[in-house]
């Protein structure tokens, strides 16, 4: 229960930290309340009262926790705000505000209407995330295009791809591979690094498979074939051992980052009797039968 | 793709119109808007998808069985709806239509925003964190089975998946669209469906605008344009209407927040309880809820409180009156 309260409180702080549409909603409710627009009719009255009550319930930790329990705990705090018609109420208040400023949307009232409209649009821009996003669309788009090129290249060079291979690659390629090829088998999926996907199935990865992921990402980052445990100064994962482990799991198509030296790649390929080839930005290792 | 767009416009409109006539009789007298029909149609198609999906799951049938059943049910429903429309139209011929044409130009700002947002969806990078819809659809199409393999790896499940996830119909529905129209899952899931969701978002807000400003078209236009601007403004965090709709509009939560929630509020304000129940059921078909008790149920229940209080007061007064 303490954790739920903490989540509710932290969730609220995060919710108002990234963007300020919640503040705009508060301003909208305040404007509707003070101007008396909410008394315009039964429908307006119901919507105003409902929105105010729902917003307050999402803000106060006790009611927010109840709502979080109601929404199955599977969802994070910010999903409780689905109950609040934030867009609808803000747009309603904005409409009433502009209608008053333009005196019934008459072009003649531009002297007052235009500055107010510009002011409102400015406030809207300030309350938005100002271009901030919870992910990097450009970077992800570029990664996807690169993965697409690499996979198309593999498809051209190998008859067995995608139907008869067990595929292993750096995460930007591995993540894209299953989106693009429904009949491709991969040694681990996107749920290896995207924890939120873990809730969608009961399967868990064996420690050896998790080691494959750790090794590949470390190799992608450092360009070396051995993973060092920086805290203890011990060698944790050796490239040869990992290759043997991958071969043991049945992996027969491996994509390695091209940061690895050609000699290192040759050594790794030799461990499992694979042929090496060059792709755009990657090494390709193919094991025969 | 063109056929898909035509079907998306026609089939829900016909089915929705028929369903509204069945539920409420002659809908012209019930004050329904074209978007009420469209959204009702979309929800009905979702129900048909859910029925087909559950049948395939329970009977352990293939994905082809699902697509066949879903197509058959949709065609039967469309036929029945058309028949209902024709029959009721004959009866209502004498009734004059009150629906005004309205000035389309007045909605130009909202249309412009819709166009820009459609371009953003079609050209942008989808947000995939926490979502595996494309992989799931791909696995359905490739294995011709529903949840036969783990969508993440392509290998058979070892531990299986939660039942309440298994019953959600959206992946099957998207897979069905891919198969019917020979389209790539990425095109359908990342591009087509979010565009439909966006269109229905404006539709739902149009219905809500009619509730709040029944006599004022200018206010409705401004309301729609501001709602569109708020989508841009909210494109900064997961869970905001704008972000979900513009970056992952195929997800159940995005569809619920963008279409079901605003439309449901307009229904509750108009006291259209049967359609509100449809919304509650639709949410249960596409979002992981607490045994069907999701946002829509909570909104309906809370918005019904004034009516319940009024009824209780009337009942109490009725009891007190004889004294």
- The pLDDT profile of chain A, 289 residues, written as one tens digit per residue, is 787 788 888 888 888 877 789 999 999 999 999 999 998 888 999 999 999 999 999 999 999 999 988 887 778 888 999 999 999 999 999 999 999 999 988 888 888 899 999 999 999 999 887 778 888 888 888 888 989 999 999 988 887 778 788 999 999 999 999 999 888 999 999 999 998 888 888 888 999 999 999 999 988 888 888 877 666 556 577 888 899 999 999 998 999 998 889 999 999 999 888 899 988 889 999 987 6
pLDDT of res. B140: 95
Q: Report the alpha-carbon angle A87-A90-A92, nearest 5.
A: 105
Given an 8 Å threshold on Cβ–Cβ distance, is B231 in contact with A87?
Answer: yes
Of A19, A83, A98, the CB nearest to B298: A83
pLDDT score at A280: 84
- Which residues 6+ apart lie within 8 Å of A170 measured at CB? A216, A217, A219, A220, A255, A256, A257, A282
Question: How many domains does the structure of chain B reveal?
Answer: 1
Q: Cβ-count burial of B37 within 10 angstroms (0-12 exposed, 13-18 middle, 19+ buried)? A: buried
Select the residue of B141, B205, B299 nearest A182 (Cβ to Cβ). B141
User: Are residues B230 and A189, on separate chains, in Cβ contact within 8 Å?
Assistant: no
SS3 at position A166? strand
Put simply, the answer to whether B159 touches A92 (Cβ < 8 Å) is: no
State how far the Cα of A178 lies from the Cα of B141, in Å rounded to an integer: 13
Q: Which of B129, B153, B183, B198 to mutate to test the interface with A (most CBs of A within 10 A)?
A: B153
* B positions 251-310 inside 8 Å of A (CB): 253, 256-257, 261-262, 265, 268-270, 288-290, 293-295, 298-299, 302-303, 306
Q: What phi, psi does A234 have (nearest 5°)?
A: -105, 150
Q: Do A189 and B159 touch (CB under 8 A)?
A: no
Q: Smallest Cα–Cα separation from B266: which of B196, B221, B218, B202? A: B202
Give yes or no for a contact between A235 and A226, defined as CB atoms under 8 angstroms apart: yes
Residue B63, chain A, CB below 8 Å: the answer is: no
pLDDT at B93: 56
Q: Do the Cβ atoms of B106 and B162 come closer than 8 Å?
A: no
- Residue A284 near residue A277 (C-beta atoms within 8 A): yes
A18 touches chain B (CB under 8 A): yes
> Per the CB < 8 Å rule, is A121 touching B229?
yes
Alpha helices in B25-98 (DSSP H): 34-58, 63-92
Query: What pLDDT sits at residue A233?
Result: 59
Residue B124 has pLDDT above 70, yes or no: yes
Nearest chain B CA: its distance from A237 CA (Å)? 24
Tell which wins on pLDDT, B94 or B266: B266
Contact criterion met (CB below 8 Å) for B183 and B60: no
Quick check: is B121 in a domain? Answer: yes
The answer to the question of residue B317 being in a domain is: no
Residue range B128-142: mean pLDDT, rounded: 94
Q: Pick the residue from chain B with its C-alpha nearest to A44.
A: B212
Interface test with A, best of B203, B212, B284 (most A CBs within 10 A): B212
> What span, in angstroms and rounded, lies between the C-alpha atoms of B223 and B221?
5
| Residue B8 domain flag | yes
SS percent in chain B: helix, strand, coil, step 5: 75, 0, 25
Q: Rounded to whole angstroms, how far apart are CA atoms A107 and B39?
A: 35
What does DSSP assign to residue B129? T
Q: Which residues of A touch B139 (CB under 8 A)?
A: 182
Q: Looking at residue B97, what is its pLDDT?
A: 46
Which residue in the set B129, B161, B231 is minimally distant from A194, CB to CB?
B129
The token pair at B297 is 């149920």
Say what the pLDDT of residue B159 is: 84
pLDDT score of B100 more than 80: no
Dihedrals phi, psi of B91, to nearest 5 degrees = -70, -35
B98, pLDDT greater than 50 = no
Rounded to two decimals, what is the model's pTM? 0.91
Buried b (16+ CB within 10 A) or exposed e, B127-156: bbebbbbbbbbbbbbbbebbbebbbbbbee
B95 within some domain? no
| Long-range interactions of B99-104: CB distance < 8 A, separation 24+ | B99/B28, B102/B217, B103/B217
For residue B251, the model assigns a pLDDT of 95
Domain borders along chain A are 2-127, 138-287
Is B265 close to A200, i.e. CB distance below 8 A? Answer: no
CB distance B153 to A185 below 8 Å: yes
Which residues touch B163 (CB under 8 Å, ≥6 apart)?
none
pLDDT exceeds cutoff 50 at B99: no
3-state secondary structure of A167: strand
Q: What does the pLDDT read at residue A226?
A: 80
With both helix axes pointing from N to C terminus, report the angle between B193-212 and B261-270 in degrees, rounded to the nearest 10.
30
Please name the residues in contact with B287: beta carbons below 8 A apart, sequence gap of 6 or more. B168, B252, B253, B256, B294
Residue B239, in any domain of the structure? yes
pLDDT at A239: 84
Residue B38 pLDDT > 70: yes
**Domain span holding position B147:** 2-90+109-303
- DSSP label at residue B105: G
Q: Shortest CA distance to B284 belongs to which of B36, B54, B12?
A: B54
Question: SS3 for A185?
Answer: strand
Strand-strand pairing, A227-229 and A282-287: unpaired
Residue A196 has which token pair? Answer: 């939120």
């Amino acid at each position: 229960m303490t954790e739920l309260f903490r989540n509710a409180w932290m969730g609220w702080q995060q919710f108002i930290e990234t963007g300020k549409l919640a503040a705009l909603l508060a301003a909208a409710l305040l404007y509707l309340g003070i101007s008396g627009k909410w008394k315009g009719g039964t429908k307006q009255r119901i919507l105003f009262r409902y929105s105010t009550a729902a917003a307050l319930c999402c803000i106060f930790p006790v009611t927010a926790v109840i709502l979080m329990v109601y929404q199955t705990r599977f969802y994070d705090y910010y999903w409780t705000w689905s109950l609040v018609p934030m867009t609808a109420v803000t747009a309603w208040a904005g409409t009433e505000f502009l209608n008053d400023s333009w005196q019934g949307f008459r072009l003649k009232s531009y002297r007052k209407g235009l500055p107010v409209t510009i002011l409102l649009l400015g406030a809207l821009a300030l309350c938005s995330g100002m271009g901030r996003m919870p992910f990097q669309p450009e970077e992800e788009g570029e990664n996807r295009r690169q993965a697409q090129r690499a996979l198309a290249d593999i498809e051209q060079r190998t008859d067995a791809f995608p139907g008869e291979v067990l595929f292993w690659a750096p995460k930007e390629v591995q993540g894209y591979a299953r989106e693009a090829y429904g009949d491709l088998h991969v040694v681990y999926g996107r749920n290896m690094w995207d924890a939120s996907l873990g809730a969608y199935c009961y399967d868990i990865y064996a420690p050896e498979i998790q080691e494959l992921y750790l090794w590949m990402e470390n190799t992608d980052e450092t360009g070396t074939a051995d993973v060092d445990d920086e805290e203890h100064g011990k060698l944790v994962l050796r490239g040869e051992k990992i290759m043997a482990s991958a071969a043991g799991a049945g992996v027969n198509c491996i994509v390695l980052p091209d940061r690895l030296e050609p000699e290192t790649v040759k050594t790794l390929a030799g461990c499992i009797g694979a042929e090496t080839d060059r792709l755009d930005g990657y090494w390709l290792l193919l094991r025969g039968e | 793709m063109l056929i898909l767009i035509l079907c998306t416009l026609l089939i829900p409109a016909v089915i929705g119109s028929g369903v509204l006539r069945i539920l409420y009789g002659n809908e012209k007298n019930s004050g329904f808007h074209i978007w009420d029909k469209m959204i009702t149609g979309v929800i009905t198609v979702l129900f048909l998808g859910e029925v087909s999906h559950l049948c395939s799951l329970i009977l352990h049938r293939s994905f082809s069985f699902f697509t066949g059943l879903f197509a058959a049910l949709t065609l039967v429903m469309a036929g029945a709806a058309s028949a209902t429309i024709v029959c009721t139209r004959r009866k209502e011929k004498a009734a004059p239509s009150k629906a005004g044409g309205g000035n389309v130009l007045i909605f130009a700002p909202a249309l412009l925003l819709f166009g820009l947002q459609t371009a953003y969806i079609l050209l942008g990078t989808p947000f995939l964190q926490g979502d595996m819809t494309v992989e799931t659809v791909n696995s359905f199409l490739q294995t011709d089975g529903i949840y036969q393999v783990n969508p993440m790896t392509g290998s058979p499940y070892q531990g299986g998946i939660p039942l309440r996830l298994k019953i959600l119909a959206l992946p099957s529905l998207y897979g069905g669209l891919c198969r019917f129209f020979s389209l790539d899952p990425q095109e359908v899931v990342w591009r087509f469906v979010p565009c439909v969701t966006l269109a229905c978002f404006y539709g739902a807000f149009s219905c809500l605008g009619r509730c709040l400003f029944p006599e004022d078209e200018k206010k409705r236009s401004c309301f729609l344009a501001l709602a569109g601007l708020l989508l841009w403004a909210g494109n900064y965090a997961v869970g905001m209407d704008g972000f979900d709709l513009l970056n992952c509009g195929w997800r159940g939560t995005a569809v619920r927040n963008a279409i079901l929630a605003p439309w449901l509020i307009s229904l509750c304000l108009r006291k259209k309880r049967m359609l509100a129940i449809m919304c509650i059921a639709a949410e249960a078909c596409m979002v992981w809820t607490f045994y069907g008790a999701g946002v829509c149920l909570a909104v309906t229940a809370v918005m019904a409180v004034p009516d319940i209080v009024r009824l209780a007061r009337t009942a109490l007064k009725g009891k007190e009156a004889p004294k």
